[in-house]
Structure 1
Amino acid sequence: MTSVSPDARRIWRGVRLPLAVVFLIVLTGTLLVLARGEQTTGALEPGSYEPGGGRALATLLEREGVKIPVVRTAAAAKGVARDATVLITQPAYVPKETFAEIRRSAQHVVLVRPSPGTLDEVLPGVRATGQLETKTRAPDCQAVDPVAAGGATMGGVKYAATQPRAQECYGGSYLEVPGPQGTVTVLGTPEPLTNERLADEGNAALAMRLLGKHERLVWYLPTPGDPSLEAEKKPLSELIPAGWSYAALQAGIAVVLLALWRSRRLGPVVSEPIPVVVRAAEATEGRARLYRKAKAAAHAGETLREAARARLRPLLGLTRDAEPAALVQTVAARTGRAPAEVGALLYGDPPADDAALVRLADGLDVVEREVERS
């Protein structure tokens, strides 16, 4: 007889091609990862090659001799900010005290799309006034860097300043605020600094003039996990406006009153008339007829015996789990009957017919009366 089960050679021939394809894919992916090296991702990350990253700008600045220390915490930023340009990509995650110290020590600070709340804390004279479409815009101002760069991809948040020397360019999406502690530039959009838009219009010229003025550019990437933010975190209760607290209290009182109004109250017991009254004797007779119709004399006899045993145990002071032998001996001692006779009556063979069932019922009834009289 020839076996039709596949052997090892047949299995290998069937799977070697798929295995070779899988191995080739894994090997190619591994080589590509090793060739590209370690990469970072994220918006304006100086090591990111993504469209929103800043790898192209960082490379151009380094070729011009600008040193770019990358920092991610407030403590690190304060340590290297002196006499440098500081680019802050997420101003909302910079503590107020940290920004003040950076502004005192740095020559130039660039904020990318700061929120109105952040401006109120770090630049009280500057406010956000609206939104602009991001597109190529002319400088329309007298600031040196925008005029030299020309048209650039600007838009996003629009800013305005109360300082008389402040320069609003590109429709207000570029704001230059000079001061005794250095210049602060606010950008309404990060687009001209990204890999995707750096080569468009005058974006590269604007970015190079804005961030390459000094020997060092501190590329500050704040994160929510900065330990310096722990002291400024507020509990949830402080973030809820007072009006909401009063509204919640009133709503709670209303819910309690509604529950009390709609809750069920206990009243008098309601008696319902029974539709059919069945007397106990009739129920017994009906059950007996069913046993008779089914010719279940044996089952009926066992039911009678079990009921009799259940009534005899408490009369004799025995527990419900008393052994049959103990019940038989106690009944025999109380009635003067022979144990064999009592055992046959309480635990004997089932009755074979209706006549035997009647005799069994009579015998059980007599024994119970004898125990009660004893």
Structure 2
Amino acid sequence: MTTTTTPGRARRTAWVTLLAALVLLAAALPILLSGGPSGGRALDPEDTSLQGGAALARLLQAHGVQVARVETPAAAVAAAGPHTLLLVSEASLLSRDAAGRIAVAFGDRLVVGSVPYLDVLAPGVRRQGAARTRSRAPECALPEAVRAGHAYTGGVSLTGPPGATGCYPEGDGHTLVRYTEDGDTVTVLGDASFLTNLRLAEDGNAALALNLAGARAKLVWLAAPDDSAETGGGTDEEARSLGDLIPAGVKWAVVQLAVAVAVAALWRGRRLGPVVAERLPVVVRAAETVEGRGRLYRSRRARDRAALALRAAAADRLAPRLGLPRTATPEEVAVAAAARTGRDPEPVLTLLCGPPPGDDTALVALAAHLDTLERQVRDS
């Protein structure tokens, strides 16, 4: 059956579409002018945004570590004690004089990110250059890093004083440097993103953060001051409802969106005809599709294509278990799988990247070996 569209119907459709677009634009305009939602306070132990550190603070508290959030160097010095560790991040606001007072008050320090006055907080540590932030292996004997395994580090490549331990190498330096001076432990990392709520659950980030920040019974976390508490001249004791926290532009946007939905419902509702029953397309089970493709490969003796499909599927399943991105090559997956299972890399490379099998028996054996490799990686 063919349908024709009259000029009048086309004009009405164009006007309704234009009206709906104008309503949506008016609804979105207040949000765009308001600047969008706040990005949160970076590396703050009380902030639950993606850049905050609330997840790490809760993890430390669950392991019995007291987390003391301070906003000024003076408060940090006042909170210092014999069994405390100071966490200084790139979000901490420091002057050279304040950094000097903190370095004297605190023995053990954890310095992460692009912190100013590194020569005062960690004497002897030097920045070598920028380092791409990515998942890295520790490649050192530091117990905290060895237990954590791969971690999301980078930012800046560092070198330490004589006797320092470097982990997660980058070029001629390392992205983690630790040294001990007069019985005090100073740890410096070139990037702080592994501490955030966004990255904490990836790789061994949580383990590394817990091992480093939870080394003492009390952690003094120097965060940036919360400016939002100073606006309006109010106090923290004033009760604020959920409606008070919603910007005015959002309320108007909700009203306008409701009007747009009502208009669209009336427009489309008049054009809906009676329900028409029609036969659904044939449903083919996934198993039948796989079996059909397998029979097609067998009829054409396409063992090379079948082996390639088996290896590619195995590499795709192994990559996330090994902490690798989906774009990792089969060679990278093979090397990582060999390291995880403790096997010789050469047979694993041949298994994932070798030549196609010569007969059906070899193809079946290849599938069995791939299953065994996946099981070993999963159980390791």
TM-score range for the pair, normalised by the shorter chain length: 0.3 to 0.5
| TM-score, length of structure 2 as denominator length | 0.45
| TM-score, length of structure 1 as denominator length | 0.46
Select the structure of larger CA radius of gyration. Answer: 1
